[in-house]
Amino acid sequence: MELVKKGYKKTEVGVIPDDWDVKLIEDICNISVGRDLQEMIFSKQLDSNYPYPVYSNTVENLGLYGYYKQPEYTGESLTIVGRGIGLGTTFARSGGFGAIGRLLVLFPKSGINNKFLAFYINNRIKIFEESGGIPQLTGISVSKYKVSLPPTLTEQKAIADALTDVEELITNLEKLIAKKKAIKQGAMQQLLTPKNSWKENKLEDTVLIIRSGGTPSSTIKKYYNGSIPFLSIGDMTEQGKYLTFTSNRVSQEGIENSASWIVEKDTLIYSMYASVGFVSITKISLAISQAVLCIKFKKEYSNEFMYYLLSNMQKSVMKYVGEGTQKNLNAQTVKNFIIKTPSLNEQENIAEFLKVMDEGIEKMGLRITKLKNVKKGMMQELLTGKTRLI
């Protein structure tokens, strides 16, 4: 039997403080459903004549679809995505707005904070779709979900404010990262634009090794789940510049019976399939498939500089991809790339400058990850009453 500490009680929504209540959403909200778009009063652009946002059944851009001349709804409220991707996602709203596409609109009754309720629905309620076709949710089904509520509006607001502060900090950091990435992109364009003194070569003339791999037969089980990391394109796109792990592993026998081979660490990897032109640097030894090239450069070329140079070329190489459903490069095309490079000393200086920018962006990314974990812990504590702010 589960022990419940003093001052708390066990309910159908979990253990909560004695002074919290469990309520049906229909008991604490009035529920409406958005209708068809009113085109006569609609504009895609915000201006003084069309000041009221119109929200639809989507999570992209917080559900914003356009603007109305006059509002359909006013006041503190919530909208819930009622169909499709993001089913059940809830946003707190305020002021005047319109709602379309069967978007669910909830108006909390007296004593209920809309932001608290939005946090609760998003994080404590598991929404189930009502049909096997297009995922959808109705006002009737939403009305039957249960919510645990602090006894006062003041406590609800304190919880909502604390969680909102963390959300805003995360959002601001994400905007700052986007700005820093744009600045870095501009710096790359400037620093990697060839000068008159730069030397022109085919890529294959700058390398010691440029070679693709192979894939062990997937029908032979003993070739997989071995001790050797096996690289996929997904590993590259997930990890970015440096590769420190792989999602798959193969056996030595798998390597020996395929065209795959083991690449040593600090080797540049260039993707020819799927995410064409994506570049990474290995930080572990790993085996590669035919989808990528491993490239080891001559001593007069900086590995880090060549990473940035080839990354900066990614958009331009799309003109070389083959025809067909899958747009792929071939090894000979990559070998024939014409590149221009400065002296080794200048390569190293450029690479170091861009590397410092990357490290700053990465540190901010790690901070965001930590803050998201903090927020997750806060929601577990605050939305269940384990930690009280009042």
User: Would you state the pLDDT for residue 323?
Assistant: 63
CA distance 279 to 286: 15
**Mean pLDDT value across the chain:** 94
Fold agreement between 8-149 and 199-341: yes
Backbone angles phi, psi at 213, to 5 degrees: -120, -145
Q: CA-to-CA distance for 138 and 103, rounded, in angstroms?
A: 9
Tell me the residue length of the chain.
Answer: 390
Q: Which of 294, 295, 292 is nearest to 330 (CA)?
A: 292
Mean pLDDT split into 10-residue runs, the chain, 390 residues: 84 96 97 96 97 96 97 97 92 97 96 98 85 77 96 97 97 97 96 96 96 95 96 95 96 95 96 93 97 96 97 90 74 95 98 97 96 97 95
Q: Which one, of 90, 93, 58, lies nearest residue 72 by Cα? A: 93
- Which residue bears the tokens 């450029």? 350
CA distance linking residue 139 with residue 340, whole number of Å:
62
The CA–CA distances, whole Å, from 315 to 11, 44, 307 equal 56, 31, 15
Q: Is 199-341 a domain of CATH 3.40.50.10860? A: no
DSSP notation for 253-302: HHHHTSS--EEPSS-EEEE-SSSTT-EEEESS-EE--TTEEEEEE-TTS-
Digit-coded pLDDT (tens) for 1-59 = 568 899 999 999 999 999 999 999 999 999 999 999 999 999 999 999 999 999 999 99
Class of domain 8-149: alpha beta
Task: Count CB neighbours of 218 within 10 A.
Answer: 9
Query: Model-level pTM?
Result: 0.83
Write out pLDDT tens, residues 109-124. Answer: 999 999 999 999 999 9
Q: How many CB atoms lie within 10 A of CB 140?
A: 10
Half-sphere exposure of 129 (CA within 13 A, CB side): 12
Contacts with 99 (C-beta within 8 Å, 6 or more apart), sequence order: 32, 33, 34, 35, 54, 55, 56, 72, 73, 79, 105
How confident is the model at residue 3, as a pLDDT?
A: 81
Q: What are phi and psi of 116, to 5 degrees?
A: -60, -45
Domain boundaries, the chain: 8-149, 153-194+350-390, 199-341
Q: How confident is the model at residue 160, as a pLDDT?
A: 98
Rg (CA), the chain: 28
Torsion, Cα 214 215 217 219, to 10 degrees, reads -170
Write down the pLDDT at residue 266: 95
- Fold classified for 153-194+350-390: Helix Hairpins (1.10.287)
Which pLDDT value is given to residue 14? 94
C-alpha 341/C-alpha 165 separation (Å) is 47
Q: Which amino acid is at 355?
A: K
Q: Which residues of 244-258 are buried (b: 16+ CB within 10 A; e: fewer)?
A: eebebebbeebbeeb
Decide: 339 and 297 in contact? Cβ < 8 Å.
no
pLDDT of residue 325: 56
User: Using CB atoms within 10 A of its CB, is residue 277 exposed (0-12), middle (13-18) or buried (19+)?
Assistant: buried
Q: For residue 212, what are the β-bridge partners?
A: 293
**Residue whose structure tokens are 């707005």:** 97
Q: What's the rounded Cα separation, in Å, for the pair 61 and 54?
A: 12
User: For residue 131, what pLDDT is reported?
Assistant: 55
